[in-house]
A and B are shown apart, each in its own frame.
Chain A
């Protein structure tokens, strides 16, 4: 589904990604973790072409993302993305947020989009808030709406860029619950997160990054039980022992 092949990226002189390779199969849940500044968020933004890459290839659903001939809007329309800061559109009601992509991009009718949107809103447990504005919801609620918005496009896979790191601790669970459910339904997911509990529960593989490189790419059990790089061991002992 997603293939990342020898990807390197520079911001000017500064190299942020070095020769990264991994792949995500259909139905697989891959958690990407690592210390801040390790390039995880940058890597996931390259997957749907929000950030350009200078070297290597990224292939999503057999389409090369960084090929200039690729119709990026079309490709992105079926790759769902959830951001750290939710990025709901603050000037639109929750329903409008859920409909805009469907009507403007997929060409669905207003009624059809509304029906689909409200169904998804119900799924994330927020039916009562359909006519409110994003600013009237809590962070956790906003992030659940953002997930519903991404799902409204019927994506073939979902990208999560630190979906819980801007949330208060008690709101993290409600968002993770939605994500776990999604994973259990077989959605293909690439998740940048520090939530190791989530990784243990639903991830198939864990990718560990440091300083722009993929240091470790292992099945979940192997990663948690015996990470083979020192760096990953240090990282795990730091975030698991508190």
Chain B
């Protein structure tokens, strides 16, 4: 049944695949870093005593979490040029969409992380004379990050897998590269198998890495 498969195409495809992989990884890293920063700010807004800030952040998060990512990618790609007149190409458009989208998810994770730190720790920071931002930066967020790291990284695997959705707007990611080579050479099945393997290897090694990190940075209790 598999006799007709010819995996020699894989070798030929390597340069194209690498280029696609590079973009997928870039997308993951940018959306992760940007998402964590923006998400932390959103979480702080939601937890702040300012009702307007809290409400605005809640609306943002709820909206982002209620719309499928694929729709977001499409709408952002189609609507933003219409509304602003700026054309940015599918790759950059996807970078921004992913960052904005991930921020909503990271913000919920960070919010839970911040809330998991007892109020006494905030008081201890304040009692030493630290300001709100010093207490957050030195006492609360470092602990929240450590507590939340497994969940943050799990969310990042999902993010890496979801980067494949950008094929919808024709951005040249890993999946796009594999598909294109496959179609051009009439070897789509081989290429899809190969690309699945790449996704698997990357996600699996990342999850090994997470296990290792968890042991290293866990807070001694």
Contacts and interface: CB of A to CB of B under 8 A. Distances in A.
A76 interface: yes
Given A73-B130, A76-B128, A91-B143, A136 B220 contact: yes
Interface string A62-96: 00000000001111111111010101111100000
Contact of A100 (B128, B146, B219): B128
Interface string A100-132: 110011100000000000000000000000000
Given A73-B130, A100-B138, A90 B123 contact: no
B120 A104 contact: no
Contacts of A222: none
A166 B170 CA distance: 61
B131 interface: yes
Interface string B178-221: 00000000000000000000000000000000000000000111
A100 B143 CA distance: 15
Interface string B75-111: 0000000000000000000000000000000000000
B19 to A, nearest CB: 40
Interface string B128-150: 11110010001100110010000
Contacts of B55: none
B90 to A, nearest CB: 41
A91 B221 CA distance: 9
A73 B128 CA distance: 8
B158 interface: no
Given A90-B143, A90-B219, A90-B221, A101 B128 contact: yes
Interface size class of A (residues with CB under 8 A): 20 to 34
Contacts of B121: 87, 89
A50 interface: yes
B139 A76 contact: no
Contacts of A134: 220
B14 interface: no
Interface of B: 118, 120-121, 123-124, 126-131, 134, 138-139, 142-143, 146, 219-221
Interface of A: 45, 48, 50, 72-81, 83, 85, 87-91, 100-101, 104-106, 133-136, 149-150, 153
